[in-house]
A and B are shown apart, each in its own frame.
Chain A
């Protein structure tokens, strides 16, 4: 109970809502660093996963990449990147991008791979050229899993960005790390609540986007993409 009371007090304090250590600034830092990492990761991962899935090549690599990603201790990767590149956003973005890539490759590979071969045959029979078939037939059918990959990556990047505070990064992780260091438990608690809410908000909003982008014709497919997507947790 005392914890909740001090938490409410912390949030009610107007000084926590402005300045370089205020909630709005930390929120923007957290979102910016996460969005940049996911965007760069997607630019690298999605073409790879889509092309490999389309041609059905190197499936073991595409699937095992996620397992390699899981085995990487995000904390160690961040600190090593910090040792190489020093202070700043570069080591954080590089580490987060590296962690964002595997689930997007795996899920987009599986999504493209699972497109019914009969549908591909039908598309060819209707006269689709290779590229048009990929873009207008296979990709729309694979959207649920491609989006599930992006969602999984984004949630994990938001979570892992919290650890960036350990290497002097910004974002909500600052409250947790500083709260621990200063024995300021209301700050620690507030940071934890904010990080958890941001991760949940990322999950929920991207799940909504996934539903919006899924072509109406396959929305009723029994097994939701969410339950087929590769689980991935790095932080």
Chain B
């Protein structure tokens, strides 16, 4: 980056409102891609982590390997993971989703296990005494009691994923991250600042929305 460009940046306003108002569609498109990448990641992570969490709660032989495998995966920085996947899945949404789903699985999985572990043994005994078969006991007694913890995991996973999606800009996706990258490459502050703020706002709105859903759908989780 030349010095001339950099000096010019010093005088640049943080937001050029005129430009912003004529380019609203770029932000809505990016926001839409951002939401889409997040929704797919969290939904797939739920589909994987609930059965896996149930199995991990039952059997230690499943729990430890699952924690180790997803723990190692979670430790790998996303940008490194995307780079490692490029030869196999290319610069595609698949590459992004493999990473995003894997990270979200660890977060939700841990909460599923914690939620199921914290069901009081007396409650399980009572359910057995009332004649519940194992599957019915799981679906109608244990999982409902574990749902508040699972929901907390979904909220953390959603907020985390919204933040991580911006990094997929380096593999040509990115949602709002695209506009951050554009701000960097063109040395143009408006898309950079607006996209960063929108990403933070999206995370808060999603968290608040899920909190609201939790209050309505799981009235027994109030105060947890």
Measured CB to CB, the residues of A under 8 A from B are 2-3, 67, 70-77, 79-80, 82-83, 86-87, 155, 158-160, 162-163, 166-168, 173, 176-177, 179-180, 185, 188-189, 191-193, 195-196, 199-200, 203, 227, 231-235
In the complex, chain B residues whose CB is within 8 Å of the CB of A3: 87
Q: Is B55 at the interface (CB under 8 A from chain A)? A: no
Q: When the two chains form their complex, are residues B78 and A235 in contact, meaning their CB atoms are under 8 A apart?
A: yes
The 4 residue pairs across chains A and B that have the minimum distance between CB atoms = A76-B196, A159-B77, A71-B203, A192-B83
Q: Which of B72, B83, B103, B196 has the most CB of A within 10 A?
A: B83
In the complex, chain B residues whose CB is within 8 Å of the CB of A200: 72, 75-76
In the complex, chain B residues whose CB is within 8 Å of the CB of A79: 180, 183-184, 192, 196
When A and B form their complex, what is the total count of cross-chain residue pairs whose Cβ atoms lie within 8 Å?
Answer: 143
Q: When the two chains form their complex, are residues B79 and A70 in contact, meaning their CB atoms are under 8 A apart?
A: no
Q: Give chain A nearest CB distance to B69 CB in angstroms.
A: 13
Starting from the known contacts A75-B167, A191-B80, 17 additional A-B residue pairs (CB-CB under 8 Å) come to: A70-B159, A70-B163, A73-B166, A73-B177, A74-B167, A76-B177, A76-B192, A86-B6, A176-B83, A179-B83, A192-B83, A193-B84, A195-B80, A196-B84, A231-B110, A231-B160, A233-B103
Q: Which residue of B lies closest to A201 (CB)?
A: B75
Partner of B162, one of A71, A77, A176: A71
In the complex, chain A residues whose CB is within 8 Å of the CB of B74: 231, 233
In the complex, chain B residues whose CB is within 8 Å of the CB of A188: 83, 86
Q: Is B57 at the interface (CB under 8 A from chain A)? A: no
Q: Interface range on chain B: under 10, 10 to 19, 20 to 34, or 35 or more?
A: 35 or more
Q: Which residue of A lies closest to B34 (CB)?
A: A73
In the complex, chain B residues whose CB is within 8 Å of the CB of A232: 160
- What's the Cα separation between A231 and B110 when bound, in Å? 10
Measured CB to CB, the residues of B under 8 A from A are 1, 6, 9, 67, 72, 74-81, 83-84, 86-87, 103, 106-107, 110, 114, 156, 159-160, 162-164, 166-167, 169-170, 176-177, 180-181, 183-184, 189, 192-193, 195-196, 199-200, 203-204, 207
Q: When the two chains form their complex, are residues B156 and A189 in contact, meaning their CB atoms are under 8 A apart?
A: no
Q: Give chain A nearest CB distance to B102 CB in angstroms.
A: 11
Q: Which residue of B lies closest to A200 (CB)?
A: B75
Knowing A83-B189, A188-B86, the reply to whether A233 touches B160 (Cβ < 8 A) is yes
Q: Which of A70, A74, A86, A158 has the most CB of B within 10 A?
A: A70
In the complex, chain A residues whose CB is within 8 Å of the CB of B159: 67, 70-71
Q: When the two chains form their complex, are residues B180 and A75 in contact, meaning their CB atoms are under 8 A apart?
A: yes
Q: When the two chains form their complex, are residues B156 and A77 in contact, meaning their CB atoms are under 8 A apart?
A: no
Q: Give chain A nearest CB distance to B64 CB in angstroms.
A: 11
In the complex, chain A residues whose CB is within 8 Å of the CB of B83: 176, 179-180, 188-189, 191-192
Knowing A159-B78, A162-B79, A231-B110, the reply to whether A73 touches B180 (Cβ < 8 A) is yes
- A/B interface sample: 14 pairs, CB < 8 A: A67-B156, A70-B156, A71-B163, A71-B199, A71-B200, A73-B163, A73-B166, A74-B163, A75-B166, A76-B166, A82-B184, A177-B170, A231-B74, A233-B74
Q: Which residue of A lies closest to B165 (CB)?
A: A73
Q: When the two chains form their complex, are residues B75 and A83 in contact, meaning their CB atoms are under 8 A apart?
A: no
